[in-house]
Amino acid sequence: MSVIFVVVPLAVALAVVGVIAFVWASRSGQFDDLHTPGIRILHDDPPPPSPAPRDR
Amino acid sequence: MATDALAPPAVACAHCGIPVPADALDAAAPRQFCCAGCRAVWTLLAEHGLDDYYAVRDATDAPGRPARPSGRAYAELDTESFRARGCRAITGGLLATDLVLEGVHCGACVWLVERLPALVPGVVEARLDLPRSQALITWDPRRVSLSAIARRLDGIGYTPHPCRGGAAREARRHEDRAMVIRIGVTGAVAAAVMHIALALYGGALDGIEPEAETFLRWMSLVITLPAVVWGADVFFRGAVAALRVGVLHMDLPISAGIVAGFVHGAVNTVRGKGDVYFDSVTCLIFLLLVGRHVLRRQQRAAADRTELLASLAPATARLIEDGAVREIPLDALVPGARVEVRADDTIPADGVIVAGRSALDLSLLSGESRPVEVAEGDRVHAGTVNRTSRIEVRVERTGEDTRVGQLMKLVDEHARRRAPIVALADRIAGWFVAVVFALAAGTFLFWLPAGAGRAIDHAVALLVVTCPCALGLATPLALSAAMGRAARAGILVKGADVLQTLTRPGRIWLDKTGTLTEGRLTLVRWVGDESAKPLVAALETHSAHPVARALVAALGSRSGSPATSRETRGGGITGVVDGRRVAVGSPSFVASETGPVPASLVADAERCAAEGLTPLLVAVDGSAVAVAALGDAPREDAAAAVARIARRGWEIGVLSGDHPAAVESAARKIGLDPAACRGGVTPEGKLERVTEERERRAVVMVGDGVNDAAALAAATVGIAVHGGAEAALAAADVYVVRPGLAPVADLIDGAGRAMRVVRRNLVFSLLYNVAGAALAMAGLVGPLVAAVLMPVSSLIVVASSYRARTFDREPAR
């Protein structure tokens, strides 16, 4: 079981890295607007051709 | 009946998709547009190869909106003062600013606004924040001016406005980010500690090496430390503040639970024996922070949206200098200046008309719905709207010195003086603290004979397990869920306490203009010869007078101008239509045109006047034939909404600045007791009534104008309705996006349902606490039991809050 003396601090260190990344993301405003980016991601694709009548 | 205007088959506008009106149809053109604005936008987009916009929009399935460019010059955006106040310098000599855009509403708008660099060379980047309608524009000032960018945005139908309150906005953004970080860090801590706790529980059941156990406990203690010291700091500060002013607040039992659990755990970790509650403590802090953040976010969203509307008010005046007109910021306007006010513009300052004549809409200031005729030498006030034609005004007072400015001071005073409402959960917290501490002391004394260590263990277990996590979540979650639903139904609630206040009935004062009635003149009654209607319509089609517009709206417009027409100010209009002489106007005017009027028509006109309507006589070929009565018609939904509000036990009254007779007739039609309806009330009078009455009971004020703003601020709950003035928005606690009174009834109904959810949540959490306390006193609660009970109770509260259908409208859309 002595492995936990190494693994647990390692896991905590990894978590700290994650937390630092999260703090950076918040500080740079990435959580300010949670709505528009979801729309924006759709725009980079070429917009679909004029809506053709779909087969049903 | 008037001619029905719904006949021709609808041709959709190529830009916005709404049906093109018959007189705008051009059979030869390949594309049809409903208005010049839409045509301009379509042409502009096509020229720049941005017509993909329509494909994007069709793909997002969003309805189009007609483009209504304002055509302003936006010169104020290029001034040094705006650059210093509203812009940020970025590396490379670029500038950035936030603009509020009117009319952005869907994914296609995001697409189009963010293609701005393709439309305006010199714009480096445009990012749109759709929920806030706020665009961050980065541009190169050496290549393009901000006013040119603004004009382009205006040209494609998104009228831009500079953001107001930049510093406050920035501060709020930082506060929000800090809270998100706090939640994130605490969440990470809670997750880590819970994983370790899992190992410890496993060890407790199956056996664990003592060194491993000690190690894991120390790890938990170290990881928990930031969550307690920094994460829970919010609650500690709240608790200290509550103690200092001597009130019992929900933060007190929360802090007690956190501190007891943590200190006890830390001591036991150092001692190397006894229970630790680190997982429960961190989980508790995390959940409570989330609850608080969710509620605040919801209130923010409502405040943001109303603020956004406020920044839509024009911040410029059109100054006349050496015969030329230029736009200047409102702040730069000084007494003595001469300004131009075009039709449908808001008058920027108090002053005297020096040229031109027009009709003014004073409803924002006085509540009077009838337009008032003004001419040279008449005094005008800031905030009133010029309805018919261009006038020139010599400015006498600006800014705070204007009548509107004075009213705004009253608003500020009363908003400050308002006593805060004690939240239901905080009132319960008072009892809660006392009971929990008494029980903890009792438990300690009861178990003392079995040893001090055990007594402390059980007392701490009680404090931890009764720590009001579910109780602390119960209200914020239920309220924020209800506010979110309300916002989707078009009711923006700025403070959660509003919902609570609305559950106990009191007095509700309504403003007549725009709330009970349409807020504009309409043809209410026509007595006499029906065949004169088309003649009147033809005569009035080309007049810009409000009365003429009301008649045309009711009777239908007619093409072909009358051979001659002549308008007399304050009198009426005469002209020749189809070879017949027609006169429409006030009874005295028509009498002077035609000679004696039949007694029956005079009696009809007098009856209409007594009802608060404005009677007009119609004469054809020299003899009076009909009476047209104009008035502010009650809204169709008003009577039903009033009945719904009354059913909830509210006493409804009307406080209006409008003419008493008009108020009384409107009240009668809607089914209100005329005795409770007062007309001709000044803004100060409204304020006085509201302040005097709120000593005794809850007073809700519903209004839309500057004249209501002070009363809105003073009332227990102020509700501003659709289309209202900026001042009313700022002063009110609730802003209703949909027109009419029905949303107010929805709000009151919804508030009742929301508070039922709150109470249900509170009862459940109290039951849970009673059960927890009983188990703890019996010595049956260990860390494992606490760790299971806590999240389960919170989850039930969360589910109950978000499933409640508090504000759902009956079949929407």
Residue B188 has pLDDT above 90, yes or no: yes
- Asked if B111 and B56 touch (Cβ cutoff 8 Å), the reply is yes
pLDDT at B317: 79
Q: Which of B130, B176, B223 sits opposite A12 (nearest CB)?
A: B223
Mean pLDDT calculated for residue range B241-266: 85
Q: Which of A27, A42, A47 sits opposite B52 (nearest CB)?
A: A47
Q: Is the alpha carbon torsion for B230, B234, B239, B244 positive or negative?
A: positive
Inspect the interface and report whether the beta carbons of B130 and A42 lie closer than 8 Å.
Answer: no
Contacts of A1 in chain B (CB under 8 A): 208-209, 212
Q: How confident is the model at residue B23 (pLDDT cuts 50, 70, 90)?
A: low
Contacts of B209 in chain A (CB under 8 A): 1
Q: How confident is the model at residue B418 (pLDDT cuts 50, 70, 90)?
A: low
Q: In what order do the strands lie in the sheet with B372-374?
A: B372-374, B358-361, B385-386
Q: How confident is the model at residue B810 (pLDDT cuts 50, 70, 90)?
A: very low
pLDDT tens-place string over residues B633-666: 778 888 888 888 888 888 888 888 777 877 887 8
Residue B803 has pLDDT above 60, yes or no: yes
Mean pLDDT calculated for residue range B789-807: 81
Residue located via tokens 């749109």: B128
Least trusted range by pLDDT, from A22-36, B289-303, B636-650, B680-694: B289-303
pLDDT at B189: 94
Tokens of B465: 């397990």
Residue B182 has pLDDT above 90, yes or no: yes
Q: What percent of chain B has pLDDT over 90?
A: 6
Residue B434 has pLDDT above 70, yes or no: yes
Tokens of B168: 């406050």
pLDDT at B8: 45
- Asked if B448 and B456 touch (Cβ cutoff 8 Å), the reply is no
- Asked if B394 and B351 touch (Cβ cutoff 8 Å), the reply is yes
Q: How confident is the model at residue B735 (pLDDT cuts 50, 70, 90)?
A: confident
- Asked if B631 and B522 touch (Cβ cutoff 8 Å), the reply is yes
- Asked if B703 and B711 touch (Cβ cutoff 8 Å), the reply is yes
Q: What is the Cα gyration radius of chain B?
A: 33
Mean pLDDT calculated for residue range B408-422: 60
Catalogue the E-assigned strands of B704-769.
Answer: 717-720, 734-736
Mean pLDDT calculated for residue range B273-284: 87
Inspect the interface and report whether the beta carbons of A50 and B58 lie closer than 8 Å.
Answer: yes
Inspect the interface and report whether the beta carbons of B58 and A51 lie closer than 8 Å.
Answer: yes
Q: What is the average pLDDT value for chain B, to the nearest integer?
A: 80
Q: How confident is the model at residue B227 (pLDDT cuts 50, 70, 90)?
A: very high
- Measured CA to CA, the distance from residue B116 to residue B127 in angstroms comes to 9
Residue B728 has pLDDT above 70, yes or no: no
Mean pLDDT calculated for residue range B350-371: 77
Q: What percent of chain B has pLDDT over 70?
A: 87
Angle, alpha carbons B524-B641-B516 (nearest 5°) = 40
Residue B313 has pLDDT above 60, yes or no: no
- Measured CA to CA, the distance from residue B508 to residue B734 in angstroms comes to 14
| Interface TM-score (ipTM) > 0.90 | no
Catalogue the E-assigned strands of B225-381.
Answer: 316-321, 324-329, 338-341, 350-355, 358-361, 372-374, 379-380
**3-state secondary structure at position B354:** strand
Question: Number of Cβ pairs closer than 8 Å across A and B?
Answer: 82
Shortest alpha-carbon distance between residue B189 and chain A (Å): 9
The DSSP bridge partners found for residue B593 are none
- Asked if B426 and B249 touch (Cβ cutoff 8 Å), the reply is yes
Least trusted range by pLDDT, from B63-67, B612-616, B776-780: B63-67
pLDDT at B349: 84
Least trusted range by pLDDT, from B124-138, B297-311, B476-490: B297-311
Residue located via tokens 């310098």: B89
Q: How confident is the model at residue B564 (pLDDT cuts 50, 70, 90)?
A: low
Inspect the interface and report whether the beta carbons of B128 and A12 lie closer than 8 Å.
Answer: no
- Asked if B584 and B573 touch (Cβ cutoff 8 Å), the reply is yes
Inspect the interface and report whether the beta carbons of A43 and B111 lie closer than 8 Å.
Answer: yes
Inspect the interface and report whether the beta carbons of A51 and B59 lie closer than 8 Å.
Answer: yes
pLDDT at B734: 86
Residue B26 has pLDDT above 90, yes or no: no
pLDDT tens-place string over residues B132-176: 788 888 999 888 888 888 888 888 778 787 776 566 677 778 888
pLDDT at B64: 65
Contacts of A14 in chain B (CB under 8 A): none
Residue B630 has pLDDT above 70, yes or no: yes
Residue B361 has pLDDT above 90, yes or no: no
Mean pLDDT calculated for residue range B781-807: 80
Catalogue the E-assigned strands of B443-598.
Answer: 491-493, 507-510, 517-528, 565-568, 572-577, 580-585
Contacts of A54 in chain B (CB under 8 A): none
Q: How confident is the model at residue B215 (pLDDT cuts 50, 70, 90)?
A: very high
For B199, other C-beta atoms within 10 Å of its C-beta total: 18
- Measured CA to CA, the distance from residue B720 to residue B734 in angstroms comes to 6
pLDDT tens-place string over residues B55-90: 777 766 666 666 666 666 777 778 777 777 778 888
Inspect the interface and report whether the beta carbons of A32 and B177 lie closer than 8 Å.
Answer: yes
Mean pLDDT calculated for residue range B407-433: 66
Mean pLDDT calculated for residue range B388-411: 78
Residue B507 has pLDDT above 60, yes or no: yes
Residue type, B470: A
Mean pLDDT calculated for residue range B251-263: 87
pLDDT at B184: 94
Q: Quick one: DSSP state of residue B370?
A: S
- Asked if B277 and B197 touch (Cβ cutoff 8 Å), the reply is no
Residue A17 has pLDDT above 90, yes or no: yes
Residue B366 has pLDDT above 60, yes or no: yes
Residues in chain B: 813
Q: Quick one: DSSP state of residue B462?
A: H
To probe the interface with A, which of B177, B179, B211, B305 has the most A CB atoms within 10 Å?
B177
The residue with greater pLDDT, B2 or B92, is B92
Closest CA to B187 of B281, B296, B285: B285
Q: What is the average pLDDT value for chain A, to the nearest integer?
A: 78
- Measured CA to CA, the distance from residue B503 to residue B648 in angstroms comes to 9
Mean pLDDT calculated for residue range B440-466: 86
